A and B are shown apart, each in its own frame.
Chain A
Amino acid sequence: MAGIVLRQVTKTYGTLRVLNGIDLDIADGEYLTLVGPSGCGKSTTLRIIAGLESQTTGDVEIDGRVVNEVRPSRRDLAMVFQSYALYPHLTVRQNLVTPLQLRDMNFWQRIPLLGYLAPGRRAKMSKIEDDVRKAAETLKIEPLLHRKPGQLSGGQRQRVALGRAMVRNPAAFLMDEPLSNLDAALRVHMRAELSELHRELGATFVYVTHDQAEALTMSDRMAVMMDGDILQLGPPDEVYEDPRDIRVAEFIGSPKMNILPGRGDSAGRITALGVAVEEALAVPSEGPLSVGFRPEHLHIQPADNGACFSGRLTYKENLGSDVFLHLAVEGIEGKAVIRAKPHEADFADVGEDVWFTGEVGMARVFGADGKRVALAEPQLMRKTS
Chain B
Amino acid sequence: MMARTNWLGEFLKHSVLLAGAIVVLLPFYLMLSYSLKSPAEIESNTGGFVGSQEIMTDRRCIKAGKPAEECDMRPIVYNYTAAFSEAPLVRYMLNGVFVTVSIFVIQVLVALPCAYALSKLKFWGRDVVFGLVIFCLLIPVHAIALPLYIMLAKVGLTNTYAALIIPWTISVFGIFLMRQFFMTVPDDLIDAARMDGMSEFAIVWRVMLPTAIPALLAFGIFSVVAHWNDYYWPRVVITGNRDLMTPPLGLRMFKSDLDGNEYGPMMAATTVIVLPLVIIFLLAQRRFIEGITMTGMK
Contacts and interface: CB of A to CB of B under 8 A. Distances in A.
Contacts of B186: 83, 85
A47 B195 CA distance: 11
A98 to B, nearest CB: 6
B182 to A, nearest CB: 14
B195 A50 contact: yes
A78 B210 contact: no
A89 B211 contact: yes
A85 B191 contact: yes
B216 to A, nearest CB: 13
Interface string B188-230: 1101111111100000000100110100000000000000000
Given A81-B192, A89-B210, 12 more contacts: A47-B191, A50-B191, A50-B195, A52-B194, A72-B194, A72-B195, A79-B192, A81-B191, A85-B191, A85-B192, A87-B189, A90-B210
A163 B34 CA distance: 65
B188 A83 contact: yes
A158 to B, nearest CB: 13
Given A83-B186, A89-B210, A52 B196 contact: no
A291 B80 CA distance: 96
Contact of B207 (A52, A71, A87, A103): A87
Interface in A56-110: 71-74, 77-79, 81-90, 98-99, 102-103
A103 B193 CA distance: 12
Contacts of B207: 87
Contacts of B198: 73, 102
Nearest to B190: A85
B149 to A, nearest CB: 41
B197 A73 contact: yes
Contacts of A84: 188
Nearest to A168: B196
B195 A103 contact: no
B197 A79 contact: no
Interface of B: 186, 188-189, 191-198, 207, 210-211, 213
A79 B195 contact: yes
B195 A52 contact: yes
Interface string A103-145: 1000000000000000000000000000000000000000000
B17 to A, nearest CB: 35
A81 B187 CA distance: 10
B187 to A, nearest CB: 9
Contacts of B210: 87-90
A50 B193 CA distance: 12
A73 B202 CA distance: 13
Contacts of B193: 87
Nearest to A87: B207
B188 A77 contact: no
A79 B191 contact: yes
Interface string A147-175: 00000000000000000100000000000
Closest A-B pairs by Cβ, 8 of them:
A73-B197, A89-B210, A85-B192, A85-B188, A81-B188, A102-B197, A99-B196, A85-B189
A89 B207 CA distance: 8
Nearest to B202: A102
Interface in A264-322: none
A13 to B, nearest CB: 10
Contacts of A78: 195
Given A73-B195, A73-B197, A78-B195, A88 B211 contact: yes
B212 to A, nearest CB: 10
Q: Which of B186, B196, B211 has the most CB of A within 10 A?
A: B196
B105 to A, nearest CB: 18
Contacts of A74: 197
A79 B194 CA distance: 10
B211 A102 contact: no
11 contacts: A52-B195, A73-B197, A73-B198, A74-B197, A79-B192, A82-B188, A84-B188, A87-B210, A88-B211, A99-B195, A102-B197
A365 to B, nearest CB: 43
A98 B194 CA distance: 12
A339 to B, nearest CB: 38
A99 B191 CA distance: 13
Contacts of A79: 191-192, 195
A87 to B, nearest CB: 6
B243 to A, nearest CB: 36
Contacts of A85: 186, 188-189, 191-192
